[in-house]
Chains A and B, each alone.
Chain A
């Protein structure tokens, strides 16, 4: 009897990751379109709107690029920690704390000129976000506490903490009692790079580029970076590394928190110009999807962050033009991730027809 058998590959599939992602995308879009059709929406038109809304033209690209900045930063951090099998899903909370840290800097040092304000803001955001990630790391190292749950709980607590601050001590007296901090002074607002050519794209993009380059260099060229890359794949090898495993974990979590903190800082400063509860839109969770898709290649992270940002932006157009519920984006993201997970199987195994012995 001939049955398909599963055989491990000798070496990974050529161009495997590309095909896997493309196949996953096709499967996800297919299922999602079927859902739309069941709901009475024209699936092909929906695809067209999704495309043009996210990528079709300079405005769409600008929107997508803007949206990809915070996603990119969060994903970098998450990817680094996932690589070490440290399941940090607390990017949301770390994002919130980063925003809080940046706001604290603005409120504490109101008179600083921009060249001083910006570094201070970013520093405070990184410290706040990093600490918020370091605590679950310590809990894991010292008490063996599962970091999945602790980082997740810290998400909820972090967001509530942000709410607590803007409803209370940090509320703008001129805001008619609404929960928001005063508008940031000009020195604390990240401005557009070049309004004429790039529209609203702001210097946060430069921050992303800088961070990306630094991280790539760190990972490929320093010994510590190499240990990080190797540590997750093989914890036993990590033991021979110079840095103790525990410290690596702590470092990685804090780095993730700091990067998410940067994202929070940028979002608060450039996009909203003040701290308010509505800066939380779920970048932390999208970052998980991006991180998994790209597996710690910095350039991959950039591409997938851009793609998923485009997806989100496209979905908004779907809402406006076709009245498709906003949740469609979540369905797509979830399906893509599941399909990619399934597809990655083919990286390591293949089917053959072999007779049963």
Chain B
């Protein structure tokens, strides 16, 4: 009895204090964005007004130090913070789901102008909050839903993957390549497919074996997964993981590797051929500028290599010149738009034709890719 009474007293006291401190506090942030919109709308007509103060928030699904997915976004955030009149903030390791919704909502309440949510699982929470805060711009990465004030965006990483596949396919001797992958979601599957197509473009007999780790960042599991691929004869290890665990495994065994997210060469200088890297800075900068000028229109954005959003890291010393030239040439074609990665004929693992000769896989189909191309050994679950 005493315990419950005392606990209730404690809570009552807290509620009372909350009521006293909280009154009136929360009204202000909601009003702030409205007040700021007016000068922005007036600006184009007048002579260049001082750059509008922008608050940009980022929601990350993993720690920024991971030198992986979130790290790449955070590099761009830092670049934004150096723009005049822009302040940024971020929250990391936010679980997808209810917590995400609350975090995004808090950012919106605090008056952030643009909020970037950088993981697929944030899609529904972002949409819910977007509906409540029509004056805030929401940018959701790797999803498929939009709203008048919410866009989704991604980069055509598969183009970079294709090129890395070409490099890897040229360097393999055993014709078995390993791919340590996190979760069987379309972007990962698409990456594996593009990689495999690149491999087989230079080496039609090679195969790519996939091991799923069911984690984005767990060096121990990822390294062990890489080792198991090495044990079955793979001599190039690629990854769709955020940690350099697989790179370590490759270097220890003296074989080659391909990195992801960022240039992983300092983890495995002797084995790294190249990496498929993100560079979000140009895109993010353009978003901030457009919102600031009031020119931003929401939509679905999927820029490719020509904008610099994806690319490949500098080649390792071991990559010979003829391979480099071939890959660079193909890269130029992709940038120019003359070469499409998923152009037919493309068959799946079971031999069925998914893209007939002369056709190109549509964006829709690419975004929902759940099948593996010929040459991939592994389950899609």
Contacts and interface: CB of A to CB of B under 8 A. Distances in A.
Q: Do chains A and B touch in the complex (CB under 8 A)?
A: yes
A150 interface: no
A320 B106 CA distance: 9
Contacts of A63: 102
Contacts of A66: 98
Q: Which of A16, A67, A272, A278 has the most CB of B within 10 A?
A: A278
A299 B22 contact: no
B11 interface: yes
A273 to B, nearest CB: 7
B4 interface: yes
Contacts of A56: 18, 21-22, 25
A115 interface: no
B186 A178 contact: yes
Interface string B8-39: 11110011011001110110000000000000
Q: Which of B1, B100, B101 has the most CB of A within 10 A?
A: B101
B26 A57 contact: yes
A110 interface: no
A106 interface: no
Given A317-B106, A320-B89, A57 B381 contact: no
Q: Which of A14, A272, A294 has the most CB of B within 10 A?
A: A272
Contacts of B95: 278, 281
A143 interface: no
Given A177-B368, A303-B11, A313-B102, A320 B91 contact: yes
Interface string A52-68: 11011111110100110
Interface string A154-178: 0000000001000110000000111
B14 A55 contact: yes
Contacts of A58: 22, 26
Nearest to A19: B6
A267 B381 CA distance: 26
A297 interface: yes
Interface string A307-319: 1000001001101
A181 interface: no
A317 B99 CA distance: 12
A276 interface: yes
Interface in A35-73: 52-53, 55-61, 63, 66-67
A298 B7 CA distance: 11
Interface string A13-30: 011111001100000000
A320 B11 contact: no
B294 interface: no
A298 B3 CA distance: 11
Given A179-B183, A267-B98, A326 B92 contact: yes
A279 interface: yes
B367 A320 contact: no
Contacts of B100: 278
Given A163-B214, A300-B3, A278 B121 contact: yes
A23 B14 CA distance: 16
Contacts of B344: none
A339 interface: no
A271 interface: yes
B4 A55 contact: no
A18 B9 CA distance: 9
A306 B11 contact: yes
A313 B105 CA distance: 12
A316 B18 contact: no
Nearest to A322: B89
Contacts of A320: 57, 89, 91, 103, 106-107, 110
B54 to A, nearest CB: 17
A55 B26 CA distance: 12
Contacts of A16: 2
A303 B370 contact: no
A295 interface: yes
A262 interface: no
B144 interface: yes
Contact of A21 (B7, B93, B96, B370): B7
A195 to B, nearest CB: 11
Interface in A1-21: 14-18, 21
B102 A316 contact: yes
Contacts of B184: 167, 177, 179
A17 B26 contact: no
A271 B2 contact: no
B127 to A, nearest CB: 11
B124 interface: yes
A304 interface: yes
A38 to B, nearest CB: 19
Contact of A316 (B11, B21, B99): B99
Given A59-B109, A306-B11, A316-B102, A276 B96 contact: yes
B369 interface: yes
B2 A15 contact: yes
Contacts of B10: 18, 21-22, 303, 307
Contact of B3 (A59, A60, A294, A313): A294
B319 interface: no
A67 to B, nearest CB: 8
A304 B26 CA distance: 25
Contacts of A53: 106
A276 B97 contact: yes
B124 A272 contact: yes
Contacts of A313: 102
B201 interface: no
Given A55-B18, A61-B18, A316-B103, A177 B185 contact: yes
Contacts of B105: 59
Interface in B76-126: 89-103, 105-107, 109-110, 120-121, 124
Interface string B124-155: 10000000000000000000100000000000
15 contacts: A18-B7, A18-B10, A21-B10, A55-B18, A58-B26, A177-B185, A267-B98, A276-B96, A297-B1, A303-B11, A306-B11, A313-B102, A316-B99, A317-B106, A325-B93
- Nearest 8 CB-CB pairings of A with B: A57-B22, A18-B6, A278-B96, A17-B3, A303-B7, A299-B4, A177-B186, A176-B368
Given A17-B3, A18-B9, A22-B10, 14 more contacts: A21-B10, A57-B21, A60-B22, A63-B102, A66-B98, A67-B98, A67-B102, A167-B184, A179-B184, A281-B97, A298-B4, A317-B106, A320-B57, A325-B63
